[in-house]
Structures are given as structure tokens and as C-alpha cells.
Amino acid sequence: MTVPDITIAIDGYSSTGKSSFAKLLARRFSFQYLDSGAYYRGVTLYAQQNGLISEDNTVSDALEAALADGTLQIVTDGDAIRSMKVSSQVSPIAALPYVRSFVDRRLHSDAASGRVVMDGRDIGTTVFPNAELKLFMVASDEVRARRRYNELLAKGQTPVFEEVLANLRERDYIDSHREASPLTQAPDAFVLDNSSMTLEEELIWVEGLIRGKFGILE
Ligand code: DC
């Protein structure tokens, strides 16, 4: 299927499988993939490594200064940004308006062409409000926690299911109640509930959507 040069914005709660799905779409349609959550995780890791965030999540003003000129290099891939330590402090960091504007600037400069699929919490509402296709992904809490738990197990960590579930619910709460671009469904987003769908079924669903929306006949 030939997909036109569009931007695809994928938002949704934690562990709804946004990244796996976005990566699959990028591969299938030859799009650039950008994981906006990785940028917030990178800023959090930077803050932790430089002693700028305390146990009770108080953030030093030095973080704002470090991000001010926009040139700071942050890690946006690898295992370090996916640890429980980063996961447990990323939401308060992502709630800071100066962190959000740093990440937004980075995302816009890294999104090289129109053929982009980006996933996060505010892509269809704030980062790319004019994206031609917006998806909002949801799945039950238990299904999401089980996925995250299995991911951590596979990485050799020793997660406790109840803790994973609690962390996920806490992040959802902070992400959807913060003042600066909270997680909300864009009015023109299509909802994808993948609680009991495989990735292949999700792909068939979105291909149907794209065909209908952009009048593709093949
Ligand atoms: O998708 P993720 O779990 O890797 O995202 C990490 C955190 O970053 C998540 O708790 C919320 C935040 N985030 C955000 O506020 N806005 C985005 N566009 C993407 C992520």
C-alpha cells in the first residue's frame, strides 16, 4: 500500500503498545519513527545522573538552565532510559513546561520530512496538531501492566506485578492531570483499543482506516 507523505500522531496511556505499533508502521510504510517519550526519559536520566532530582522528585533550577539553550545532548535510546528508576521519576519531569518546550523543539528539528510517525501523549494535540492521521491507543490496566511486567522480566529485571501496575496508574494520573499539555484524546483522533488484538490485527485495522481516509484503492 502506498501511503502519502503524511504525519501520523499516536497518543495514549503508558504501555498501550504505542512504540511497537509506531515502529511497525514506520517499517511498513517507510516512515521516520520518533519516540517522544524517549526524549522525556533522556532528560530524566540526565537530571538523575547530574544530581538534579531528589528522592521526593524536587527538581533543581539547574535543569532549566541546562536545557535553556537547546543544545544539550540527551540519551534517547538504550536500556538506561527504560529502567524503573527513570520510569518512576519521568512523569514529574515531563510535567515541567520548560522541559516540554525543550523536547518539542527537539522533536520538530528531528522530524526531518513529512513522512513521520511519532508516538507520545500530546503529539496530536500539541506537537503536531495538524497531523493528517491521529490515533489514540487504549487497553485495560491489567493488560498494560502485564505487558510491562513481561518486558522487564525479559530484560532480566525482577519486577513485582502490583508495583508495575501501581507505577503505570500513577503515571497515567500525572500525565492526564498536569497543566502543561496533559494527555487527552484529540477530537479528530481514532481510538484503537488493543486489549485483545495482535500487532498484525492492528495493522490491518489502520490500513483500512488509511485507505478510507485518503481514498487509496489498492
Ligand atoms: O511513552 P513512555 O512511557 O516512554 O513515556 C515516558 C514518560 O514521558 C511518560 O510518563 C509521560 C511522558 N511523555 C509526555 O509527557 N509526553 C509525550 N509526548 C511523551 C511522553
Instruction: Return the minimum-mean-pLDDT range out of 31-40, 49-58, 209-218.
Output: 209-218
Ligand 1 contacts CB of residue 36 (under 6 A): yes
- Out of 36, 79, 147, 169, mutate this one to test ligand 1's pocket (max ligand atoms within 8 Å of CB): namely 36
User: Per-residue pLDDT tens for 49-94?
Assistant: 999 999 898 999 999 999 998 889 999 999 899 888 998 899 899 9
Q: How many CA atoms lie within 13 A of 191 on its CB side?
A: 8
Ligand 1 contacts CB of residue 119 (under 6 A): no
User: Per-residue pLDDT tens for 17-34?
Assistant: 999 999 999 999 999 999
Contact between 183 and 126 under an 8 Å Cβ cutoff? The reply is no
Neighbours of 191 (CB within 10 A): 10
User: Per-residue pLDDT tens for 105-142?
Assistant: 999 999 977 899 999 999 999 999 999 999 999 999 99
- Out of 90, 122, 183, mutate this one to test ligand 1's pocket (max ligand atoms within 8 Å of CB): namely 90
Q: Give the pTM.
A: 0.92
Is the predicted pLDDT of residue 217 greater than 80, yes or no?
no
Ligand 1 contacts CB of residue 91 (under 6 A): yes
The mean of the pLDDT values for the chain is: 94
- Residue 10 main-chain phi, psi, to 5 deg: -120, 115
Ligand 1 contacts CB of residue 117 (under 6 A): no
